[in-house]
Chains A and B, each alone.
Chain A
């Protein structure tokens, strides 16, 4: 049973299913660090996915599709940023508004541009290339797991590292964290909090554009209404569990991907679908429990230390 479940294919599927989530989550955690709790990733992925197909189809090049996706998501991000940073609206309400708007506008434009409802697929949509590493194919199992993935899968790993460095090792990163933890201090130091928040919203827009383009040009080469199907929400969840740390967030996103893939294989063993589908959610609740417990213990320890110092 173990052998049947934990195949290299499962790890390969895990990698595939993790990528759209982590790309969006990386954007979300940047705004999270800067003090904006962004729940608009779902809508932004959807807009990215749609505009990538539009751009790719009409311009005939997948990379131009990606650029169109980024521009479209940046446009949405501009609206988001204007309301959240400039007008200081409630970020939840604006987030929900963006999500609903994204769903509506993509359905409407799908009709207006392609004259179809529901789904658009065509051989003329240029897919993003797969990357094969010449040395990897010598090593059997690693080749099955790691080689010949769509390009954004490798890029997402690179982004995890880059954003880790950005947040923890650069002056901009310190400012981003300060904007979230203590905006007044940042203001006193002469740095505009709004500017820092706008920067994270722009980066979030670019990353969500990547997530959407990957979904509709890399993972699949088609668009269907509402195809993000909750990935943006899962990204929100991974940001919370990962406490805004890119490496932790990546780990949690991979856990989601892994358990999702596992659910398919469990069904193959005769475990009822409904039960198999519990696995991802159960794992996440369990992970949340551990994270929360650790946080509680940390607070308790700090309290004890304070008491000890006082006495």
Chain B
């Protein structure tokens, strides 16, 4: 009796497995000869309301307006998926976006084997491979502008929630080059406005742990920070919550995060991943796409920088906003050179 039960269970499991795999293999069957096939492989997962979501929005826009066929593969920060998903995307697409610095090695290995597929590496630079184009963001420039903003605002005690101490903060997800680039820009921006402003930098060690983000943020708020720049993906949810709870301000990252906590988010440092993806697809269709090129998106290209949305003008005094615009112009003209950490 027991053996038969076990057998039954085994068969059930087998059937479940077959059904599950069938489902997966059936999904991408639709084929159209005409449309350009674009796939985006993201190292993390969608739903970060920040970096990857911005990319997905750009891809969606391209699908709607440029009539391309799109697909998104998520690796969920699982290194074993980086190779498989990149390979899967390389096999039957015209254009593949690889989003996330973590996948560089896999891309370098796979790209030369698929010369007919064009790859776009986002958030970093890979040079010397014919079919790999890079899109690099000058986060340091955008961070410089918000750093200057924070340094100006932290002395304005008439803004509710701003204390007397000249301390601002930055909570980063991990101690890695991309995040350093935010940090150096932010620190330099603050220093150039007022060398007396102290920037407290702390890393949580994870992009996925909002509780730790909250804890790290509370630690620097205790030290007197009243404006915190969050550069930490999903960990950032906890950073925003800590700032809201303590009545201080937070600077959002990558996407406009004002809606997450109206009145607490003082500005967002945009990284227009979606815009650059959209533009690249457009270039590809127009024939102006350069194979193997490196496209840099800085303040000049409108690829990074504050939103200047009306929502934030309710908190920020007009002169600070004017000054931010002035700084942007100076970065574009080359009068201000922002340090790099990559």
Contacts and interface: CB of A to CB of B under 8 A. Distances in A.
Contacts of A221: 241
A9 B48 contact: no
B202 A225 contact: no
A67 interface: no
Contact of B206 (A7, A17, A118, A229): A229
Interface in A268-296: 268, 272-274, 277
B223 interface: yes
B210 A13 contact: no
Nearest to B204: A264
Interface in A66-124: 116-119, 121
B211 A215 contact: yes
A227 B218 contact: no
Contacts of B206: 229
A272 B175 CA distance: 9
B45 A268 contact: no
Interface in B209-263: 209-212, 214-216, 218-220, 222-223, 234, 237-238, 241, 260
Interface size class of A (residues with CB under 8 A): 20 to 34
Interface size class of B (residues with CB under 8 A): 20 to 34
B49 A119 contact: yes
Nearest to A264: B219
A118 B49 CA distance: 8
B210 A220 contact: yes
Given A118-B48, A267-B202, A277-B205, A224 B237 contact: yes
Given A121-B260, A274-B175, A219 B219 contact: no
Given A267-B201, A267-B203, A274-B175, A117 B223 contact: no
Interface string B31-61: 0000000000000011111000100000000
Nearest to A110: B47
B215 A13 contact: yes
B123 interface: no
A222 interface: yes
A222 B200 CA distance: 26
Given A222-B237, A229-B206, A116 B47 contact: yes
A182 B205 CA distance: 43
A166 interface: no
29 contacts: A9-B218, A9-B219, A118-B45, A118-B46, A118-B47, A118-B48, A118-B49, A118-B234, A121-B241, A219-B211, A219-B214, A222-B210, A224-B210, A224-B237, A225-B208, A225-B234, A226-B208, A227-B208, A229-B209, A230-B209, A260-B215, A263-B205, A264-B216, A267-B202, A268-B200, A268-B202, A268-B219, A272-B175, A273-B203
